[in-house]
């Protein structure tokens, strides 16, 4: 086998003339140029780990140089490195939400203990509030009110008033100028209530429940 035949034997069939079998250099050159173009457009490995343009706008954490160094050693380009950070944020988001929710709940309980004169007093009062709410309020309303400091104080005012919940149709409340239960439930799903704890917004919801159920 001649040198020319040996070279042609390793050339893909698409680069050979369909009739003569000769190498079509123009097609081979065009394919090579397209390959170079794609490689030049692909994200390249930065010269140093510090040059990774990692985006951490979510604010949960910042780029870590040790992690970047390991990614750089493995040949991760900037897009691949960003995916690693994005996946970490995606995994951490639910856990952080749970931690924040637990922290807020602990702070709310601490405020209630201080407001009502100590752990022993709060323990007894919380039992009474739960019994009162379970007897007089819908389960979802009781759950919502008991999830915040302001809601528990509203529940306490209802119990102290000794009044039964108003026999006002929940749908008619809006007609009379107040907020109906559906509207209040919708407001409680708003991030301003459950995430941001906007004082004015929370107070509006709490007052709405007090008005609706007879504090």
Compute the distance between CA of residue 101 and CA of residue 109 in angstroms, rounded to an integer: 12
- Residue 38's pLDDT is what? 65
Identify the helix (H) or strand (E) that includes residue 103.
helix 78-115
Are the C-beta atoms of residues 149 and 174 closer than 8 Å to each other?
no
> HSE (CB half, 13 Å, CA atoms) of 165?
19
Residue % of the chain over a pLDDT of 90:
22
**Residue 59 φ/ψ region, left for φ over 0, alpha for ψ in the -120 to 50 degree band, beta for the rest:** left
Q: Across the chain, which distance is largest between two alpha carbons, in Å?
A: 107
- Asked if residue 7 has pLDDT above 70, the reply is no
Three-state DSSP class for 23?
strand
- Asked if residue 49 has pLDDT above 90, the reply is yes
pLDDT, one tens digit per residue, over 18-32 is 877 787 778 777 776
pLDDT, one tens digit per residue, over 181-194 is 778 777 877 778 76
Question: What confidence category does residue 159 fall into, taking pLDDT thresholds of 50, 70 and 90?
Answer: confident
Mean pLDDT of the chain: 77
- Asked if residue 151 has pLDDT above 90, the reply is no
Identify the helix (H) or strand (E) that includes residue 208.
helix 199-213
Distances (CA, A) of 200 to 36, 49, 101, 164: 61, 47, 20, 27
Can you give the three-state secondary structure of 192-206, one letter per residue?
HHHCCCCHHHHHHHH
Compute the distance between CA of residue 162 and CA of residue 164 in angstroms, rounded to an integer: 7
H-state helical runs in 163-198: 181-188, 191-194
User: Which DSSP category does 172 fall into?
Assistant: T
- Residue 176's pLDDT is what? 45
- Residue 42's pLDDT is what? 60
Question: What confidence category does residue 149 fall into, taking pLDDT thresholds of 50, 70 and 90?
Answer: confident
- Asked if residue 160 has pLDDT above 80, the reply is yes
User: Which one has a higher pLDDT value, 93 or 133?
Assistant: 133
Question: What confidence category does residue 75 fall into, taking pLDDT thresholds of 50, 70 and 90?
Answer: very high
Average pLDDT, integer, range 124-134 = 90
């Amino acid at each position: 086998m001649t040198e020319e035949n040996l070279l042609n034997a390793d050339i893909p069939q698409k680069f050979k003339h369909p009739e003569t079998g000769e190498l079509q250099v123009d097609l081979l050159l065009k394919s090579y140029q397209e390959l170079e173009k794609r490689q030049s457009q692909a994200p390249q490995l930065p010269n140093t780990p510090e040059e990774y343009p990692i985006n951490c706008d979510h604010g949960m954490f910042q780029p870590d140089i040790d992690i970047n160094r390991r990614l750089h050693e493995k040949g991760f380009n900037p897009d691949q490195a960003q995916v690693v950070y994005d996946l970490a944020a995606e995994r951490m988001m639910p856990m952080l939400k749970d931690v924040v929710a637990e922290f807020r709940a602990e702070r709310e309980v601490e405020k209630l203990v201080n407001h009502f004169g100590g752990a022993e007093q709060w323990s007894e009062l919380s039992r009474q509030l739960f019994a009162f709410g379970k007897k007089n309020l819908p389960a979802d309303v009781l759950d919502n009110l008991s999830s915040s400091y302001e809601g528990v104080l509203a529940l306490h005012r209802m119990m102290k008033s000794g009044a039964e919940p108003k026999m006002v149709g929940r749908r008619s409340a809006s007609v009379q100028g107040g907020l109906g239960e559906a509207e209040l439930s919708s407001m409680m799903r708003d991030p301003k209530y459950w995430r941001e704890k906007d004082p004015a917004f929370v107070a509006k919801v709490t007052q709405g429940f007090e008005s609706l159920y007879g504090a």
